[in-house]
Amino acid sequence: MLESLYLNLGQHDALSDEEKALLTSTLSIEKYFGVGEDIVVEGSRPTYSTLIIDGLAARYKVLE
């Protein structure tokens, strides 16, 4: 699951097994989103951080 993150970070500096284990232990919930599904809804106040492992995300605002 985190291999792409390890590869990305590894391009900048070597990651030890201990550091990889620490990253893995910090994940609390694994959640998948479909195409067009909102990760954070406008007006909400999340109390957590989100790490996107694979795919793309964009910020948008609906104008009325």
| Residues 45-64: tens digit of each pLDDT | 999 888 888 889 999 988 98
pLDDT recorded at residue 27: 80
Give the separation between CA 11 and CA 61, rounded to whole angstroms.
34
Give the separation between CA 53 and CA 22, rounded to whole angstroms.
16
pLDDT recorded at residue 4: 82
pLDDT recorded at residue 18: 94
- Report pLDDT digits (tens) over 2-21: 888 888 888 999 989 999 99
Predicted TM-score (pTM) of the model is: 0.58
Give the separation between CA 60 and CA 63, rounded to whole angstroms.
10
Q: What is the mean pLDDT of residues 38-50?
A: 91
